[in-house]
Structure 1
Amino acid sequence: MKLRLAINGFGRIGRMLVRAYLANHDYFKDLEIIAINDIAEAQTLLHLLKFDSTHGRLQANVHLYENQLIIQKNNQTLCQILLLNQPNPQQLIWHQLDIDVVLECTGHFRSYNDANLHRLSGAKQVIIGSAPFDMVDASVVVGVNDDTLSRTLPIISGVSCTTQALVPLLNTLHQTFGIDSVMMTEVHAVTADQTVLDQAHRDLRRGRASGQNIIPTTSSSINASIRVLPFLNGKLSGHSIRVPTVNVACIDVTAVFTHTPTLNDVSNLLKTTSQTTLRGIMDYTDEPLVSSDFIGDTHSLIIDGSQLMQAGNQFKILAWYDNEVGYANRLLDMCLVLAKR
């Protein structure tokens, strides 16, 4: 039987989940998107799915029939998704729809108790599509610890797009060279919680105009990475810099290793790993590319071999990632693992 999914919150990640599902429908054939819940009107959700300023027009026919989103391709109906409009997760009808997993993508219900409202409404499991506010039953990075996924885990965190990029890199480096210390700078495109013009915000810097400022802020990936890789505790720190682009981010990592390698050792390790154990998760390029060249890339991270550097015992590694498409694919990968358990 297919794993029955519901998406709560049809914003950037929610819509990318549907696009990723449609783009690789055969691969995700063991999954079925049953329902989407969002407080916006159905016609608005339809329009935002069809037309996207970053990723272009949806390569499928999509229309509304009563309260369902009908998606067709090559005269074949791929999805019939029920649209719900309920602001309170506890009032949703997941029990009636026999939902296996709710992908919580609003960005609001990130505490354990809030995410658990979906289970009180009848869902069997919840995957929070971001770093959690507090505890969860598992924090999962695909390619590193997704073997811990189980149908018995009530609340799971898919951590963040940056964590999905950073953890496979650091785990790979640590297994071969050992990590003494790491500093990470996340250079990230603007997100929906930022503002066009200066206004009040819980983060005074993120409240400044996003289109005309480079904005330092915190990165949830630091604590999330330590949750997944406890050996990083006391060895990893860093922050985020928001820049005026709409998509694609990179991590700029400076590491000191226990067993100091050569620059070629680091390059060869990352290149080999991208072709073997982390194939489909990590990629490697030597081409002189810029951020927009990675729009639509489904990998968690793409190592930029041209930017590998060494100064003394310090090594710098730069990795790109589409913070929307790559992350949406990882959430679906997690669901695919659960479908086979």
Structure 2
Amino acid sequence: MKLRLGINGFGRIGRMLLRAYLSGLTQFDHHLDIIAINDIADAHTLLHLLKFDSTHGRLGVDAWLQDNHLILQKNGQTLCQIVLLNQKNPTDIAWGELGIDVVLECTGHFRSYDDASLHRLSGAKQVIIGAAPFDNVDASIVMGVNDEMLHRDLPIISGVSCTTQALVPLLHTLQVYGIDSVMMTEIHAVTADQTVLDQAHRDLRRARASGQNIIPTTSSSINASVRVLPFLQGKLNGHSIRVPTANVACIDITVIFHTDPTLDDIRDLLRHTSQNRLRRIMDYTDEPLVSSDFIGDTHSLIIDGTELMQAHRQFKILAWYDNEVGYANRLLDMCVTLGKTN
């Protein structure tokens, strides 16, 4: 029986979830049905933003509104008929009436345990927060690392962040050589949390114009990574630098190990892992690529083999990721895994 999904928030991640679902129908359709989408914007605006995307281009399937439904077709075949809802408060959303199993919480607002639980008061059985949570949840999941924890008895789950989904599989893989310390710089495209022009923001640096500045700020991935991999406690630190591009990010880490691997050891480990155990999660390239080359890549991270470096016991590793498409695919992967636990 397919898992019935509801999406709350049809912004960047919400729309990427639907696009990822449509792109991977042969993989996702056997396990998942997207039943409903809730957003406070009007349906015509949501339809337009779904069909035309400045970063990812046109949708690639026919889409229109019929009554309160979003209809999606390709070559005359109906792919989805999705109920569109327009409620501000989670307690007013008819998840129960629609038989929703899992709500993907993608507004960025309901990130505490209590706030996410409001969806369950409306009848949803489980909630996956599409962001790092504000407090403790029943499980913080990184695909390829601890997804065996997923089951239907966990009320509130966090999909952590796109950066955590990239960083944790990398560090989990490298731990075979015994990590002594890690420093991370996350170089990230702008997000909707930033401003076009200077204006008030709780983070004074994020208050500055996103298109005119390189902006240092904090990264939620540090605490989230330690939550998933407790051995990193006291060994991992880092920050984020927001840059004026629309999509794709990279993590630049410097690692010191207990042992003495060679650069070839690290390269072989990462290449082998990307081709085997984590082949859906991690990729590896020796091509001299730039950020736009990774737009639309579904992996959580892509190791840049041309940027692997060593200085004595320090190793520098660079990994790219599409912070929208890669993350959306991981959230859907979580739902597929949940569906298989029935």
Give the equivalent residue in structure 2 for 1:209. 209
Q: 1:244 is matched by which residue type in structure 2?
A: P
Cα-to-partner distance string for 1:65-104 (whole Å, 9 max, x where unaligned): 0110000112111110000000000111111001000000
Structure 1 residue aligned with 2:258: 258
Q: Could you report, residue by residue, the CA deviation over 1:286-334 in whole angstroms, capped at 9, with x for unpaired residues? A: 0000000000000000000000000110000000000000000000000
Aligned-partner SS, 1:299: coil
| Partner Cα distance (1:87, 1:240) in 2 | 31
Distance 1:81 1:133 in 2: 30
Equivalent residue, structure 2, for 1:315: 315
> Which residue does 2:2 correspond to in 1?
2
Q: Which amino acid aligns with 2:117?
A: N
Cα distance in 2 between the residues matched to 1:272 and 1:232: 23
How far apart, CA to CA, are the structure 1 residues paired with 2:325 and 2:258?
A: 34
| Structure 1 residue aligned with 2:52 | 51
**Residues 1-341 of structure 1 aligned to structure 2 (within 5 Å):** 1-29=1-29, 30-174=31-175, 176-341=176-341
Q: CA RMSD in A?
A: 0.4
Task: Determine the C-alpha separation between the residues in 1 that align with 2:133 and 2:3.
Answer: 23
Cα distance in 2, alignment partners of residues 26 and 218 from structure 1: 38
Number of aligned residue pairs? 340
1:260, distance to aligned residue in structure 2 (A): 1.6
| Over 4 Å off, 4+ runs | none
For 2:105 and 2:41, the matched residues in 1 are separated by 16
Letter in 2 for 1:132: P
> Normalization by structure 1: what TM-score?
0.99
What per-residue deviation string (whole Å, max 9, x for no partner) do you get for residues 227-278 of structure 1? 1000000000000000000000000000000112000000000000000000
Which amino acid is the alignment partner of residue 253 of structure 1? I
Segments of structure 2 that go 5 or more residues without pairing to the other structure are none
Where structure 1 has 5 or more consecutive residues not aligned to the other structure, the ranges are: none
Return the alpha-carbon distance in structure 1 between the equivalents of residues 180 and 80 of structure 2.
49
Letter of the 1:135 partner, please give it. Answer: N
Secondary structure of the residue that 1:107 maps to in structure 2? Answer: coil
What's the offset of the Cα at 1:26? 1.1
Distance 1:285 1:144 in 2: 22
Amino acid at match of 1:159: V
Question: Percent of counterpart pairs with the same letter?
Answer: 78
* SS in structure 1 of the partner of residue 279 of structure 2: coil
Instruction: Give, in angstroms, the shift of residue 55 of structure 1.
Output: 0.2
- Kindly provide the amino acid, as one letter, of the partner of residue 156 in structure 1: I
| CA distance in 2 between partners of 1:170 and 1:75 (Å) | 46
Code of the aligned partner of 2:92? Q
Which whole-Å CA distance do the structure 2 matches of 1:74 and 1:248 have between them? 31
Counterparts of 1:76 and 1:219, CA distance in 2: 43
| 1: CA distance, partners of 2:25 / 2:339 | 15
Q: Output the CA distance in 1 between the equivalents of 2:298 and 2:332.
A: 11
Q: Is the partner of 1:116 in helix, strand or coil?
A: helix
Q: How far off its partner does 1:225 sit?
A: 0.3
C-alpha distance in 1 between matches for 2:72 and 2:223: 39
Matched to 2:138, the amino acid is D
Distance 1:142 1:36 in 2: 24
SS in 1 for 2:96: helix
Amino acid of the structure 1 residue aligned with 2:107? T
TM-score by length of 2: 0.99
CA distance in 1, matches of 2:284, 2:93: 43
Whole-Å separation in 2 of the counterparts to 1:33 and 1:257: 44
Q: Could you say what secondary structure the match of 2:16 adopts?
A: helix
Given residue 246 of structure 2, which amino acid in structure 1 is its aligned partner? V
